[in-house]
Amino acid sequence: MEIQQSYPPSALPWGGDQEVFAVLDNEGHASASKDPRLPLALVKRIYETMLRGRIIDERLMKLQRQGRIGFHVGAEGEEAAIVASAAAMEPQDWLAPCYREVAAALYRGLPLQTYIDNMYGNADDTCLGRQMPDHVTARDQRYVSVTAPIGTQITQAVGLAWASKLKREDVVSAAYFGDGATSSNDFHAAMNFAGVFKTPCLFLLRNNGWAISVPADRQTASRTYADKGIAYGVPAVRCDGNDALAVYATVSAARARAAAGEGPTLIELVTYRLGPHTTSDDPTVYRDKAEVEEHAKADPIVRLRKYLEHQGAWTTEDEQRFTAEAQAELKGCIDKAENTPEPSIASMFEDVYATMPAHLAEQQRQCVEGPRAKKKH
């Protein structure tokens, strides 16, 4: 499968500029002409990571409601766009996430315990409690630290791509962001720079229908989000983000273009956010239940499971076994995280200077030795 450099959109390989490339229907049947025919072992790994992510999200939502963690950003309904795209990249490639893509890091081998420790901000948290929950970083997995401001990761991904191009490395970067981030300054700056200098990067735009409570049709007057590539000379395609096979095929082709020196690609992954924006959000205030139920018919996990079942590669017993194992692992990680102490007060002063200056050391000593507020104050 090839993504052409040419524009206008009518020159795209999958038909007109409004077409959304898809392989699977809602019953998990693959189009014979579009099926990338991936090895079943790879498809199973993608599916298991998607299912694992859903299980984790459901549990973390309950933990937040119980007051055991402070915050969570789920990815219910967007698992295919996240996991299949990560699977299509190479291990040396950089992923620049927003805050909903931790399953991509888990696919790459991030230990679940590391992620759960971040959710609690305990002493074993990589960030030592200095970041919000879900703002994880994973250098070993080439997963850039999450930042809260909208769109900042997009320019970071282009910077990483520019560096790899200057170094002549076979490294491509991918930026994950939502439809709302297309209104940020960083999106426009990144697209412009990438288009001019043909940086080896992918813009993975997850159009999930809502930027918190702002619907997509109030976010832009463009016919499609893919159209936003026109002004910057960046080829763009639309892909069914709930179809793991379509996502993999599209991202793999775009990755090959970038590695061959043909520049960036904007990929509009058309998906839907089945759950709330975060645990602080109540989507029933701004969208109809019927809308959610309609989109749930295209649940990416259900579609890929049916595909595997059609191939004789997944059974009810497999589902039950994997679910039980994932839940048991998650419970163990939660128990350990809840029994790990908080970061020390002294750690607040660390990681600022290579060698701590005298004035900061004095402030650290005074803080550690000074009076402390009562627990739960």
Cβ atoms of residues 171 and 164 within 8 Å:
yes
Confidence of residue 19 (pLDDT cuts 50, 70, 90): confident
How far is residue 91's CA from residue 97's CA, in Å, rounded to a whole number? 16
Is 120 in the active site? no
Is 277 in the active site? yes
| Average pLDDT of the residues in 41-51 | 98
Which residue out of 72, 238, 273, 303 is catalytically annotated? 273
Confidence of residue 15 (pLDDT cuts 50, 70, 90): very low
Confidence of residue 372 (pLDDT cuts 50, 70, 90): confident
Q: Is the pLDDT score of 374 beyond 90? A: no
Cβ atoms of residues 118 and 136 within 8 Å:
yes
Q: Is the pLDDT score of 43 beyond 70? A: yes
- The residue with tokens 């970083």 is 137
Q: What does the pLDDT read at residue 14?
A: 36
Q: Where does 52-118 show beta strands of DSSP type E? A: 94-96
| Average pLDDT of the residues in 144-149 | 92
Q: What does the pLDDT read at residue 18?
A: 65
Whole-number average pLDDT of the chain: 93
Confidence of residue 2 (pLDDT cuts 50, 70, 90): low
Rg for the chain (alpha carbons), in Å? 22
Q: What does the pLDDT read at residue 214?
A: 94
How far is residue 250's CA from residue 201's CA, in Å, rounded to a whole number? 14
Cβ atoms of residues 17 and 10 within 8 Å:
yes
Confidence of residue 8 (pLDDT cuts 50, 70, 90): very low
Among the ranges given (233-237, 322-326, 333-337, 368-372), the one the predictor scored with the smallest mean pLDDT:
368-372
| Average pLDDT of the residues in 288-294 | 95
Q: Is the pLDDT score of 111 beyond 50? A: yes
| 60-76 per-position pLDDT tens digit | 999 999 999 999 999 99
Is 130 in the active site? no
User: Among candidates 269, 329, 229, which has minimal Cα distance to 83?
Assistant: 269
Task: Give the domains, in start order, of the chain with CATH numbers.
Answer: 9-343 (3.40.50.970), 346-377 (no CATH)
Which residue out of 286, 321, 365, 372 is catalytically annotated? 286
Task: Note the pTM of the prediction, 2 decimals.
Answer: 0.92
Q: Where do the H-state alpha helices sit in 225-299? A: 244-259, 289-296
Among the ranges given (14-28, 35-49, 215-229, 322-336), the one the predictor scored with the smallest mean pLDDT:
14-28
Which residue out of 100, 277, 303, 305 is catalytically annotated? 277
Confidence of residue 17 (pLDDT cuts 50, 70, 90): low
Q: What does the pLDDT read at residue 376?
A: 63
